RNA sequence: GCCAACGUAGCUCAGUCGGUAGAGCACGGCUUUCGUAAAGCCGCGGUUGUGGGUUCGAAUCCCACCGUUGGCUCCA
């Protein structure tokens, strides 16, 4: 007698042990058909698992538990792809094939490179496997039984996986009968019942991946696929990828004429075109003003420095291969600076500082150069020359809390102005660190307390701190829900000592100040690259390089258009007019392509009464209003940094 | 840095089996003077990433380098 308790707490009794599939069948044939796996007392297992005792049983379907279901389908789909690849290339050695966000991959060791031309063949082979609706059969062996077999197979990766497995029993999955020569794979499972249940899939890409993520290990081929419960969801995902591509900052950077990179000048070095530079200018102006309001002082420091300063800072020792090679000047090595801190410290040390001078808040848009590995460069997001929005706060231990509050407030204000929400992380002491455990504990506690005073929810990133400091990391969530590395605030435990930075306390003795490194935007390059994608190129009015364009209906109203343009410019708006002899349709299309917030159409009717017909980005209706009204409305939106263009009156 | 793919006009792309390079947009000129997402015609524009090699002949095949893309590793 087996008593099964279902999720709704109802129970069913069966005379003899039975599989989870049979339990589902007893409930409804439809459920049995939809069953992908089952939770027995909370543990996820195959539907073929025999249930021979009283258990809580929960049948997993795409409806009952979509997250688990799709994850299982993807994992099983990875196996189907692996089988397909093995059929096409029998010398393939399988390594590891998990599900990942939006799909799955399988790492394989195969001397012949897989290329995108192979994908159709792989997909065709997968289709055959799916059509044959073969069951995923699990069988288990003890470690003693399994190891000789694995050794005989000559697949060092599977052998390695097996050796690392905790359990005494190893499980295999085959799409035939155990031992009949069908495809099989060492795998923890569980899997969906059969190859027909892996959903709609597509082989996406192939890339290199080090075995076990270790750069000294062999480079494997990682074949990526995506899979979804239905064809419709697959198509929706592929469509979404196309849409994301249109928001790619590199694509928009060209389309909107924002920036370029030139291989004859150097990879990873951004050239800001007028439109991009204008956006940067607005961001920088905003940044500076908000800092000045909060008691920061601005600094400018040099771009190169003698090697002595980087020996002192420890950068040469730790990051020499990430720095541009030195230039020999008068027998002395000079480096492009990879960061700004030592320069700020130098300024600090030009005077004896009293506790009465603190806290000092110094900020700089400091341009630094780092020789990033070539394979990591990516548009504006990962570059070799960039401008950090850097700041250092020098304060007494008593002031630390208040200073952290100020930093979090500034961060919050700036992020919400750009329309970002964010998540906070507290990164604690890493394995390799400098300083004492007590110092780390105290500094971490201060950061934690500041987060809590602000009422910020945060996750602890255990061991995620830098070697000299615990930190608060902020991850931005953009309009597509993607996370970006955002602001970071570090309480430095080493710099004061290393650079002999001190202040005179009320006790007339020297003390070490606390130094907070922090950045809000990260770098102008990465932040604005991110902004481009966040807004999809449709910038809010205050950031738009061109805020409005006057579009005369024909040459006859060019003169009126010019007078409107002059009025707008006098009012401080960035605008132009389109006096090409194209028709109005073409002018509108062009303005749309540049994602301008406002188009102002003018013809004889408008010229009569000093008005413009406004067309707002993203909206087909038009409104006729007086030029002065438009100006007032636009100015208000600019002043409030309104995120979406509109009309105020 | 590692693996793979890719690199053709300012941009987006075509170019078959190796036979001296093509379109659309952009740009210039002309016609048109127009009411809400592309008017028409004509024209300009290329050492096919760079350097070698194979060949009677290379965008096409081979090698090296540079760069880009997708990942991996890394990101003070």
CATH number of the domain to which A552 belongs: 3.40.50.800
CA of A220 to C1' of B47 (A): 40
**CB contact set of A595 (below 8 Å; sequence gap of 6+):** A256, A536, A537, A538, A539, A617
Task: Give the end of a domain, one of A497, A513, A535.
Answer: A535
Q: Which of A388, A490, A494, A547 is catalytic?
A: A388
Do A511 and A434 belong together in one domain?
Answer: yes
Strand B closer than 7 Å to the CB of A375? yes
Same domain membership, residue A281 and residue A239: no
Determine whether the distance from the CB of A372 to the nearest atom of strand B is below 7 Å.
yes
3-class SS letters over A91-115: CCEEEECCEECCEEEEEEECCCCCC
d(CA A625, CA A627): 6
Range 467-496, chain A: CB under 7 Å to any strand B atom = 490
Q: Could you identify the residue written with the tokens 């188009």?
A: A599
Residue A253 lies in a domain: no
Q: Is A517 a catalytic residue?
A: yes
- Name all contacts of A230-235 with Cβ < 8 Å and 24+ positions apart: A230/A199, A230/A200, A231/A200, A233/A200, A234/A199, A234/A200, A234/A201, A234/A202
Distance CA A266 to C1' B10 in A: 20
Q: Are A580 and A587 in contact (CB under 8 A)?
A: yes
C-alpha distances (whole Å) from A185 to each of A126, A226, A481 are 16, 20, 36
Asked if residue A511 and residue A403 are part of one domain, the reply reads yes
**Distances A520 to A94, A257, A514, A594 between C-alpha atoms, Å:** 44, 26, 19, 29
pLDDT given at position A455? 95
Read off the pLDDT of each residue in A569-580 and give the average, rounded to a whole number.
Answer: 96
In a domain, A236, yes or no: yes
Indicate if A188 belongs to the active site: no
DSSP string of A182-234, one letter each residue: --EEE------SBGGGS-EEEEEEEEEEEGGG-TTSPEEEEEEEEEESSHHHH
> Residues A338-373: pLDDT tens digits?
999 999 999 999 999 999 999 999 999 999 999 999
Mean pLDDT of A130-158: 89
Say which DSSP state A463 is in. Answer: T
- A62 pLDDT tier (thresholds 50, 70, 90): very high
Task: Please tell me whether residues A359 and A265 are part of one structural domain.
Answer: yes
**A577 belongs to a structural domain:** yes
Which residues 267-326 in chain A have a CB closer than 7 A to strand B?
267-268, 315, 318-319, 322-323
pLDDT in tens, A606-648: 999 999 999 999 888 999 999 999 999 999 999 999 999 988 7
Rounded, the Å distance between the CA of A368 and C1' of B67 is: 23
pLDDT at residue A152 tops 90: no
How many helices, marked H, and strands, marked E, lie in chain A?
Answer: 20, 36
Nucleic strand B within 7 A of Cβ A463: no
Distance CA A585 to C1' B41 in A: 20
> What does A522-583 look like in DSSP terms, one character per residue?
EEHHHHHHHHHHHTTT---TTT-SS-EEEEESSGGGHHHHHHHHHHHHHTT--EEE--SSS-
Residues A231 and A277 in one domain: no
- DSSP class of residue A17? -
Sequence-separated (6 or more) residues with CB below 8 Å from residue A105:
A78, A97, A98, A222, A223, A224, A225
A353 is catalytic: no
DSSP string, A473-512: EEEEE-TTS-EEEEEEEEEESSHHHHTT--EE-TTSSEEP
Residue A588 Cβ under 7 A from any strand B atom: yes
Residues A393 and A364: beta-carbon distance below 8 Å = no
Cα–Cα dist A460/A626, whole Å: 55
Q: What is the rounded average pLDDT of the residues A472-483?
A: 93
Q: Please give the DSSP secondary-structure letter assigned to residue A52.
A: -
Between CA A460 and C1' B12 the distance (Å) reads 46
Structure tokens given for A218: 């062999």
A270 and A153 within one domain: no
**A265 CB-to-strand B distance under 7 Å:** no
The domain spanning residue A161 has which CATH number? 3.30.980.10
Residues A579-611 have pLDDT tens digits of: 999 999 999 999 999 999 999 999 999 999 999
CA of A263 to C1' of B50 (A): 12
Q: Which of A512, A535, A558 is the last residue of a domain?
A: A535
Do A530 and A382 share a structural domain?
A: yes
Active site residue A341: yes
Is A405 within the bounds of a domain?
Answer: yes
Confidence tier at A318 by pLDDT (50, 70, 90): confident
| Among chain A residues 144-183, those with CB within 7 Å of any atom of strand B | none
Rounded mean pLDDT of A118-142?
A: 92
Which among A39, A337, A471, A587 is annotated as catalytic?
A: A471
Identify the residues numbered 217 to 256 in chain A whose C-beta atom is closer than 7 Å to any atom of strand B. 219, 221-222, 224, 250, 254
* A287 CA to B75 C1' distance (Å): 24
CA dihedral A599, A602, A603, A604 (to 10 degrees): 160
A492 inside domain:
yes
pLDDT more than 70, % of chain A: 100
A55 and A72 share a domain?
no
Q: Residue A191 pLDDT > 90, yes or no?
A: yes
Which nucleotides on chain B have any atom < 7 A from a protein Cβ? 1-5, 7, 11-12, 31-39, 66-76
**Mean pLDDT of the A177-203 span:** 89
- pTM, two decimals, is 0.93
The number of domains in chain A is: 4
The last residue of one of the domains, among A243, A267, A293, is A243
Q: Return d(Cα A534, Cα A381) in angstroms, integer.
A: 13
Q: Do A522 and A609 belong to one domain?
A: no
Structure tokens at A556: 């006859």
**Residue A14, SS3 per DSSP:** strand
Domain assignment present for A334: no
Encoding tokens for residue A583?
A: 């028709």
Give per-residue pLDDT as tens, A487-546. Answer: 999 999 889 999 999 999 999 999 999 999 999 999 999 999 999 999 999 999 999 999
Domain-embedded: residue A321: no
Are both A508 and A408 inside the same structural domain?
Answer: yes
State the residue range of the domain holding A613: 548-640
**Protein-to-nucleotide distance from the CA of A594 to the C1' of B41, whole angstroms:** 28
CATH for A289 = 3.30.930.10
Structure tokens at A252: 């928009």
**Residues A87 and A220 occupy one common structural domain:** yes
* Residue A23 located in a structural domain: yes
For the segment A309-322, the average pLDDT, to the nearest whole number, is 91
Measured CA distances, A129 to A71, A124, A182 (Å)? 20, 9, 12
Q: Is A35 helix (H, G, I), strand (E, B) or coil?
A: coil
- Predicted local distance difference test score (pLDDT) of residue A649: 65
Could you identify the residue written with the tokens 């799409």?
A175
CB within 7 A of strand B (chain A, 334-353): 338-339
Report whether A395 contacts A441 (CB < 8 A): no
Mean pLDDT for chain A overall: 94
Same domain membership, residue A206 and residue A162: yes
């Amino acid at each position: 007698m087996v008593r099964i308790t279902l999720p709704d707490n109802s129970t069913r009794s069966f005379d003899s042990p039975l599989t989870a599939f049979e339990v589902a069948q007893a409930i409804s044939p439809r459920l049995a058909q939809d069953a992908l796996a089952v939770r027995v007392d909370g543990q996820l297992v195959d539907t073929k698992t025999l249930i021979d005792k009283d258990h809580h049983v929960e049948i997993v379907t795409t409806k009952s538990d979509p997250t688990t279901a799709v994850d299982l389908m993807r994992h099983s789909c990875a196996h189907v792809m692996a089988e397909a690849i093995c059929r096409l290339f029998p010398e393939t050695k399988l390594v590891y094939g998990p599900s990942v966000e939006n799909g799955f991959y399988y790492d394989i060791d195969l001397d012949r490179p897989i290329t995108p031309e192979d994908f159709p063949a792989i997909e065709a082979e997968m289709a055959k496997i799916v059509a044959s609706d073969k069951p995923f059969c699990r069988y288990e062996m003890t470690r003693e039984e399994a190891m000789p077999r694995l050794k005989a197979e000559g697949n060092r990766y599977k052998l390695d996986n097996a050796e690392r497995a905790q359990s005494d029993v190893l499980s295999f999955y085959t799409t035939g009968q155990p031992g009949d020569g069908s495809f099989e794979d060492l795998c923890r499972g569980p899997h969906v019942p059969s190859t027909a249940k892996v959903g709609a899939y597509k082989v996406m890409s192939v890339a290199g991946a080090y075995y076990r993520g270790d750069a000294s290990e062999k480079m494997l081929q990682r074949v990526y696929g995506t899979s979804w419960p239905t064809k419709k969801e697959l198509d929706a995902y592929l469509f979404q990828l196309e849409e994301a591509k249109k928001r790619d900052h590199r694509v928009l950077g060209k389309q909107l004429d924002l920036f370029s990179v030139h291989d004859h000048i150097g990879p990873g070095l951004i050239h800001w075109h007028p439109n991009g530079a204008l956006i940067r200018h607005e961001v920088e102006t905003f940044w500076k003003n908000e800092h000045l309001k909060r008691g920061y002082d601005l600094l400018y420091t040099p771009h190169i420095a003698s090697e002595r300063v980087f020996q002192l800072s420890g950068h040469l020792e730790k990051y020499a291969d990430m720095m541009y090679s030195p230039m020999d000047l008068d027998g002395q090595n000079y480096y492009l600076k990879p960061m700004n801190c030592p320069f700020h410290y130098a300024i600090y040390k030009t005077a004896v500082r009293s506790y009465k001078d603190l806290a000092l808040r110094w900020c700089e848009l400091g341009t630094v150069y780092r020789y990033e590995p070539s394979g990591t460069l990516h548009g504006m997001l990962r570059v070799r020359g960039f401008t950090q929005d850097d700041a250092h706060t020098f304060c007494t231990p008593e002031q630390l809390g208040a200073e952290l509050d100020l930093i979090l407030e500034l961060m919050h204000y700036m992020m919400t102005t750009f329309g970002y929400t964010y998540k906070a992380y507290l990164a604690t002491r890493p394995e390799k660190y400098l300083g004492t455990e007590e110092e780390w504990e105290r500094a971490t506690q201060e950061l934690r307390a500041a987060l809590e005073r602000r009422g910020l929810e945060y996750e602890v990133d255990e061991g995620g701190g830098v070697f000299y400091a615990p930190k608060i990391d902020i991850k931005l969530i953009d309009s597509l829900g993607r996370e970006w590395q955002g602001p970071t605030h570090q309480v430095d435990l080493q710099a004061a000592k290393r650079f002999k930075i001190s202040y005179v306390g009320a006790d007339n003795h020297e003390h070490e100040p606390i130094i907070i490194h922090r950045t809000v935007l990260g770098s102008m390059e990465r932040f604005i690259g991110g902004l481009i994608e966040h807004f999809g190129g449709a910038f809010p009015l205050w950031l738009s390089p061109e805020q409005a364009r006057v579009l005369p209906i024909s040459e006859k109203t060019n003169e009126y258009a010019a007078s409107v343009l002059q009025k707008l410019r006098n009012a401080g708006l960035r605008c132009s007019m389109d006096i090409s002899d194209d028709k109005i349709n073409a002018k509108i299309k062009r303005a749309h392509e540049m994602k301008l917030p406002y188009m102002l159409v003018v013809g004889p009717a408008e010229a009569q009464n000093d008005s413009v017909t406004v067309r707002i980005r993203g909206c087909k209706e038009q409104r006729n209003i007086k030029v002065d009204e438009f100006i007032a409305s636009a100015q208000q939106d600019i002043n409030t940094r309104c995120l979406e263009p509109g009309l105020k009156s």
